[in-house]
Amino acid sequence: RAGDPALLARPEPHAVRGPVFFAGEACAPPESAQCVHGALRTGRDAADEVLRQWAEGEAARVFLSEEDATRAA
């Protein structure tokens, strides 16, 4: 559905490097959309999920940039 923040915020699977997580005000629920606190909330949620997956061994690597990921491949 176009404009659905929950759909926008879902991790995108990546065949080689694992999921790509999205965050920001556009991913926030309607009551927080286009606000700094919405961006902060979704950023924290995405970071929590990355850390959870890393702690459980689901995410083998975390890259801070595409350059880092390319070097590691």
Contact between 19 and 12 (Cβ < 8 Å): yes
Of 7-11, 20-24, 48-52, the poorest mean pLDDT is in 7-11
Neighbours of 6 (CB within 10 A): 10
How big is the CA angle at 59 (ends 40 and 30), to the nearest 5 degrees? 30
Q: pLDDT digit string (tens) for 28-43?
A: 888 777 788 888 988 9
User: What pLDDT is attached to residue 72?
Assistant: 61
pTM for the model stands at: 0.60
Q: pLDDT digit string (tens) for 40-49?
A: 988 999 889 8
